[in-house]
Each structure stands twice: as structure tokens, then as C-alpha cells.
Amino acid sequence: MGDKVVCVTGASGYVASWLVKLLLRRGYTVKATVRNLSDPSKVGHLRALEGAEERLHLFEANLVKEGSFDGVIDGCDGVFHTASPVILEHVNDPQVELIQPAVKGTLNVLSSCAKAQSVKRVVFTSSIATIAYKKHTQTTDVLVDETSFSDPIFAEEMKQWYVVSKTLAEEAAFKFAQENGIDLVIINPGLVIGPLLQPTLNETSQCFLSLISEGKYTNATPGGMFIYVDVRDVGNAHILAFEDSSANGRYCLVANVMPCAQVLDILRQLYPTVKFPMCSQDEENPSALPLLQVCNEKAKSLGINFTSVEQSVKDVTESLIEKKFFKISEFNI
């Protein structure tokens, strides 16, 4: 793929950093956008990637500024739109912090894609939040797949603003792509875990950290279940969705769904001398929790072999320890 030029928006993010790494490894030339080129915490780890010196070109772009992506996207064969704010809790102004940048940013990027004659396909990073968040998934055992859509009105009532922002952004992307003849493939990952490339703690890794250090889990997922996927699988899924000409529509990218207590049990087996907390939500009666299930057959047909939960949990925990976000010594018995 050495002759292919692609754009990755929001390249300093958790998923996007891995996507850039994997694209460079496959020989792509990558034009990557970030908000601030002078911030070493946003670009240092990208510049250090293998192949970056020869084939990575960094650009500054603003999601909500019209035309900001025109020059970057022009000449690209494909665009991976990952840039979107992730705030799962403590949202002060939903419109400004989440909804506007998610929706307007998506339309700005797609507008640049429509102008560029070179773009063959756009791969859009959405979320399982656009698939599984509705009233009955909170209270009953249910199986969801790519035909399932979250209820933004219910999400708004529950003040789940991240769910609202991702749902509205995906709807806007789908509509714009249809009206403008853009070949759009949508990736819907669960809670993303796995090793961090960037030096800062991202929101989903913070969720995992809260679980293993305090036994708390974000309420932004249906039923409070651990609906996870490995960050490396997410990166690979984006690339396969771009390269496979038969790829289409949405892809549920969830390796497994389990009670939070099970994740902590895995950690107790990995670190038998460490006393991890009990999970606050399911320590009393885990079997009473509604167990949402996500069908991942379509993702598997794309060629994704999901990383085991044991491997993902081990790798993200070791990464958090290495980057000094988690001090395991504090939990020793």
C-alpha cells in the first residue's frame, strides 16, 4: 500500500494513534490532523512511530472551522475520521463540548471529502453508543447488531450527552454521504482498552482505571456492563474496512460483554498478590444484571480476530503502570 495516501483526523487520540501506527506499518503515507502542532503531548508519540519520518505528515485542523480540512484531504485516497470529543461524565455544556464539534466536525470533514475528487472511501469512527443505548437494553437481556439504533431522545432524558453526540453525528454522516455519493463505512467500537501510545490518559482508559482502582464503572454503557474491544483490533478494523471493497454500512466492534466483576477476577488471577476492589455495581448479585449481547459476526467477516479479554486487560493494566497512571504497590496486600 506504499502508493496510497490517507488522512487520519484527530490523530493524537487513543484509537487514531494506533491507526496511524498500523497504517505506517502497512506502507501508507499518512496525512494526520491534530488541534495543536506545538503540543508535544499530542505529536511527540506520532513523530516517534516507525516510518513517521518518511511517510507521516502532520497538519493543524479545527473540527468546527469550515474548510479546515480541505487542503489536507485533497489528494488522499481515503479518509479515516476519528476526531470527536469523548466526555463520558461531567459535561457542563453538551452543545458546545460534545454535540456541536461531533456533528459539525463530521460534516466539515465530509464536505472536504466531497470536494476532493481523489477520495475513494471514508471510514468513520462511531461507537457502540449509537447502537445499544435505548430503554429496553437497560433492563432486559437483548442481542443487538448493526440494524439496531440508539434512541437519542432517551439518551437526552438520561443526560447521556456522549451517546447523543455520537448518535447525531452518525446520522448526519450517513445522510451527507448518501446525498453526496460518498462511500462511507462506519465502525462502532465498544469501550476501547489496550496499551496506550499517547502520554496522556484518555477517557476510556480512565474508565478502566476507575474500575480497577475504585471498583467504579461509567454509567455511559447499557446496564453498566463491560462492553469492550482492544484498541489494536479497532485500528485493524478501520484499515480492513478501507481495503476491503465489499465492506459496507456499520460494523459492531465488540469482542465480548461481561459483568465488571469478571474483569476484576481476571486481574486477581494476573496479579495474585494485589488486592483489587470489588465492583460497586455487581458485587451483591451479578446474575441480576441485564446482560446485553452484541453480535460481532459482521466484524469477523471483515477479517477481525478479536484479542482475548485476558490479553487486553493485561496489556492495558501494564501500560497504565508503565505510564505511572496506576501504582500497583498501593494495592499490595
Q: Which residues are catalytic?
A: 166
Query: E strand or H helix at 229, and its extent?
Result: strand 226-230
CA–CA dist 13, 313 (Å, integer): 20
CA–CA dist 165, 226 (Å, integer): 21
Type of residue at 46:
L
Closest CA to 146 of 238, 290, 248: 248
CA–CA dist 14, 244 (Å, integer): 24
Q: Would you tell me how many other CB atoms lie within 10 Å of the CB of residue 281?
A: 19
3-class DSSP assignment, residue 329: helix
Three cell numbers, residue 228: 469492550
CA–CA dist 27, 3 (Å, integer): 8
Name every residue whose Cβ is closer than 8 Å to that of residue 244 and which is 6 or more positions away in sequence.
302, 303
Closest CA to 172 of 84, 243, 96: 84
